[in-house]
Amino acid sequence: MMSNFKKVALVTAVTLALSACSEESEDTSSTGTTDAFPTLSLETNSGTTNEGEAVTITFNADDDGGAPSVSLQVTDLVGDAVISGNTILYTAPWLSSESTLTETFPVVATDTAGQKTSQEVSITVLDQNEPVSLKVSPPSQARGFENTKTDTSLNFWIDEGQENVSLTYDLVEKDADVLNISYELGDESFIFKNNILASQTTDGENTQVTLAFALPKITDSNSVTSSPSQDVTVTLQVDDGDDVVSAEVNMTVVNVVDLSWAAGNPSSISESSGGTLYFDSSESFSYPGEYQVQLLNSNGQALDFDLPYTLDTQARTITFGESDGIVGDQSVEVIISHINTISNAAGESYDATFSASRTITVVDDRDDGFFSSEEAHETNLALFADMRARRDEERVAQAATSYLFMNGWIDQTEVEVFTSEVSQLLDSETQELTDLADDIDEALNAGIRDTAVQDLMDSFQEGLYALGHSAREFMGTKYDEYSSLEENAEKNLSLGRLSAAKTALLYDNGNITHYVGNSVYGRYESDDQWVFDTSYGYLAVVDITDSYCF
């Protein structure tokens, strides 16, 4: 196959001595005058040149009736042949698959009487043997390839479950051969050729090949037990008819360990008695690797006080013990990480690390005197007054029943029963806290400052942060009840289920909330921009970050 790829021709002169052919002249006049055939002599009738180069052959043509015309018969010529003056210029084609090519064409001299003399020229074109230049580039998501990278070899790590992964191959073919490009996957690959989109663009001597694909989750192909990694080998071969060059890419696909904090974790722990945080992992207890805990202060530095803890990877808990040396409440960032050492095909190792972090407050409650506890209780009373006025669960119930009624889940009577029950449950919890606050106030007014009063204040704080849990539990139960009714079998209740956990957060605007900042219901899109997930959009009525809600 010949390529239409054109190169700049190199002109070489071929000088080989060879006599021209001639024929006898004929008597063409009544007077006996002889009209001779034209004469044609070539510098050479044959030659050899490389593809893309040019050959010049000079000629002389004469006739007794004046200079004859000289032409070339090049109907089936692959290269280019033209006459300029008394020179034939033949430009050899670029050979795409042949090792040699022989071109033959006649040179014809014609006189004014139409008599012709011809010579045949034969040129042999040789194929240049210049291998393809090949260079492979890693995808943007790859890491760790720098130490072992060559033009035709890559070894790297890449996380599972990613879209738009592309391997890019840049090829340079200088002698215009036809390129036969193919690729194969290793025997143990967990991706398949029919999942790979191959594309190719060519511009002159430059060709770029792209293999694009999505990396599945490792658990998608092995649902029994996740392995820390899977190896994928991609080998691309280029055959230009002269040589075969190849590039090998070894991808070590890393299983991503998803760590998160369990719902209901406390926002603070006690300096004197500690506390427990619960975390979750996407992997089983037998999954290899190790868990580590890191504790940092609000500036991201190591703590300057002792905060002992015990990590239980089976129970998935971090239990903090009694600490000391703190003055005032301390904000602590707790980071739980899973680390797995994974090797690649080049023999290098990489610590695959996945983490989750959260902030807790270590409350300075060690007996710096009963005074600090009284101060904390005064703060809690103010927070309780705010929550009692807001009645968040009633707002949620009104938003939920509005949705349920408008979408045909319940009728107006059921709306009233639903909202009434939420109000009663909230009233009951509120009254319990009110009675407890009265008991504490009575004891303090009586001058009692003992551990019993301290226990009452602790109970008040626990109840304060749990306020509304019974109403939330009731609403969640009703959601499930509506969904399970036979007449609703074809419907989908899109209201997100509420957590009955006895937890809340002290938000930075000085309010307690069970909703904003709770990862069950949404996420922070930036440091201070809270967004409820779609199914919990109805909780916007209790978004304490939105001044329009209150």
Residues of the chain with pLDDT > 70: what percent? 89
pLDDT of residue 18: 33
Per-residue pLDDT reduced to its tens digit, 268-313: 998 888 999 999 999 988 899 999 999 999 999 999 989 999 999 9
- Predicted pLDDT at 23: 46
Phi/psi of residue 506, nearest 5 degrees? -90, 105
**CATH number of the domain within which 90 lies:** 2.60.40.10
CA distance 94 to 493: 70
Note whether residue 354 is domain-resident: yes
Clarify whether residues 155 and 109 are in a common domain.
no
Asked which of 311, 331, 363 is the last residue of a domain, the reply is 363
Q: How far apart are alpha carbons 394 and 13 in whole angstroms?
A: 100
Q: Return the CA Rg of the chain.
A: 44
Residues 263, 249 share a domain: no
Structural domain span for residue 440: 370-549
Mean pLDDT confidence for 325-349: 91
pLDDT of residue 10: 33
CA-to-CA separations, 415 to 77, 275, 375, 396, 398, in angstroms, rounded: 91, 40, 42, 13, 9
Q: Of 363, 395, 429, which marks where a domain is finished? A: 363
**Residues 302, 266 contacting (CB under 8 angstroms):** no
Q: Indicate whether 39 belongs to any domain.
A: yes
CA-nearest of 112, 88, 111, 90 to 102 is 90
Residue 466 forms part of a structural domain: yes
Do residues 499 and 398 share a domain? yes
**Together in a domain, 279 and 409:** no
Q: Is the pLDDT of residue 24 over 60?
A: no
The pairing of beta strand 153-159 with beta strand 244-254? parallel
Show which of 301, 332, 363 is a domain's final residue.
363
What is the chain's length?
Answer: 550
CA distances 4 to 92, 200, 206, 242, Å, are 12, 18, 14, 19
* Assigned domain for 3 exists: no
Q: How much is the average pLDDT of 54-80? A: 89
456 and 535 co-located in one domain: yes
Give rounded-to-5 percent helix, strand, coil for the chain.
25, 35, 40
For the chain, the domain total comes to: 4
DSSP string, 10-68: EEEE-----PPP----EE-STT--EEPPPEEEES-SEEEEETTEEEEEEEEEE-TTSPP
Locate 405 and state its tokens.
């009624």
pLDDT digits (tens, 9 = 90+) for 231-271: 999 999 998 877 899 999 999 999 999 999 999 899 999 88
Residue 417 has pLDDT above 50, yes or no: yes
Residues 47, 117, single domain; the answer is yes
Whether 224 has a pLDDT exceeding 50, the answer reads no
Average pLDDT over residues 319-342: 90
319, amino acid identity: T
Are 384 and 522 in a shared domain?
yes
Which DSSP state fits 71? E
Q: Does 488 lie in the same domain as 385?
A: yes
Six-digit token string for 345: 């095909």
pLDDT, mean of residues 425-454: 91
What are the tens digits of pLDDT across the range 347-402? 999 999 999 999 999 998 765 556 677 888 998 999 999 999 999 999 999 999 99
Residues 294 and 319 in one domain: yes
SS3 assignment, position 129: coil
**Looking at residue 17, what is its pLDDT?**
31
Q: What is the pLDDT of residues 91-141, one digit of tens each?
A: 888 776 667 889 999 999 999 888 999 999 999 988 777 778 899 999 999
Confidence of residue 16 (pLDDT cuts 50, 70, 90): very low
Q: Is residue 5 part of a domain?
A: no
* Same domain for 211 and 267: no
**pLDDT confidence of 89, banded at 50, 70, 90?**
very high
Instruction: Please say if the pLDDT value at position 33 is more than 90.
Output: no
Q: Which amino acid is at 200?
A: Q
pLDDT, residue 12, reads 35
**Pair of tokens at residue 402:** 């509005």
User: What's the CA gap between 323 and 25, in Å, rounded?
Assistant: 124
Residues 384 and 494 in one domain: yes
- Cα–Cα distances in Å, from 398 out to 22, 318, 485? 113, 38, 22
- Domain-embedded: residue 536: yes
DSSP string, 428-479: HHHHHHHHHHHHHHHHHHTT--SHHHHHHHHHHHHHHHHTTHHHHHHHHHHH
Mean pLDDT value across the chain: 85
Q: What percent of the chain has pLDDT over 90?
A: 54
CATH number at residue 348: 2.60.40
The three state secondary structure string of 329-359 is: CEEEEEEEEEEEEEECCCCCEEEEEEEEEEE
pLDDT band at 509 (very low <50, low <70, confident <90, very high): low
Q: Are residues 457 and 376 in contact, defined by beta-carbon separation less than 8 angstroms?
A: yes
Sole residue written with tokens 């020179």: 87
Give the pLDDT of residue 75.
85
Do both 246 and 304 map to the same domain? Answer: no
Residue at 2 is within a domain: no
> pLDDT digit string (tens) for 511-527?
888 998 888 999 888 77
Q: 467-478 burial string, b = 16+ CB within 10 Å, else e?
A: bbbbbbebbbeb
Number of helices (H) and strands (E), helices first, in the chain? Answer: 6, 31
User: Cβ distance 530 to 522 under 8 Å?
Assistant: yes
In a domain, 514, yes or no: yes
Q: What is the token pair recorded at 448?
A: 């009692």
Cα–Cα distance measured from residue 519 to residue 279, given in angstroms and rounded to the nearest whole number: 12
pLDDT at 494: 84
pLDDT-based confidence at residue 530 (cuts at 50, 70, 90) = confident
